[in-house]
């Protein structure tokens, strides 16, 4: 599992915020235990929304084999972010001690280029 903040413009649109706190798990490590979520796409990423209440549950970015779980759905204390990514789309600079990657970090096939706020 990788906990992170995503600043991509898709996450901003879908979640109505400047960034999304998320936990990335291998898809094989997750399962839907109840309900039948609505699956849909904004551009290329498949997303799941609760059919009953409309809560955004997760996204599955193509080509990574991961499921990005919305961090607010995790048990308390599980979300411990390691970095920010897609900061080229950041609404405003975030000042904290975490790395701020311009696009994707190397663990997701990116260049590890950082933003110099």
Q: Could you read off the pLDDT of 34-91 as tens digits, one per residue?
A: 999 999 999 999 999 999 999 999 999 998 899 999 999 999 999 999 999 999 999 9
Residue 8 belongs to some domain of the structure: yes
Q: Which domain range does residue 58 map to?
A: 2-108
pLDDT at 57: 97
Rounded Cα distance, 108 and 22, in Å: 14
Q: Could you read off the pLDDT of 97-108 as tens digits, one per residue?
A: 999 999 999 998
Residue 87 belongs to some domain of the structure: yes
Listing from the earlier edge strand, what are the strands of the sheet with 66-70?
Answer: 38-42, 45-49, 56-60, 66-70, 20-26, 2-6, 83-85
pLDDT tops 90 at residue 18: yes
pLDDT at 82: 98
Bridge-partner residues for 22, per DSSP? 4, 70
DSSP state of 25: E
Residue 46 belongs to some domain of the structure: yes
pLDDT tops 90 at residue 2: yes
Average pLDDT over all residues of the chain: 95
Residue 30 belongs to some domain of the structure: yes
Residue 115 belongs to some domain of the structure: no
pLDDT at 117: 84
Q: Say which CATH number the domain at 43 has.
A: 3.90.1590.10
User: What is the number of domains present in the chain?
Assistant: 1
DSSP state of 75: P
């Amino acid at each position: 599992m990788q906990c992170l903040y995503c600043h991509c413009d898709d996450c901003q649109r879908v979640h109505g915020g400047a960034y999304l706190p998320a936990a990335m798990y291998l898809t094989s490590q997750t399962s839907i235990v109840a309900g039948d979520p609505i699956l849909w796409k904004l551009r290329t990423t498949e997303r799941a929304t609760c059919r009953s209440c409309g809560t955004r549950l997760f996204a599955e970015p193509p080509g990574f084999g991961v499921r990005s779980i919305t961090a607010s759905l995790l048990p308390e204390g599980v979300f411990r972010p390691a970095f920010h990514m897609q900061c080229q789309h950041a609404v405003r600079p975030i000042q904290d001690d975490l790395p701020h990657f311009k696009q994707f970090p190397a663990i997701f096939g990116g260049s590890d280029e950082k933003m110099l706020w």
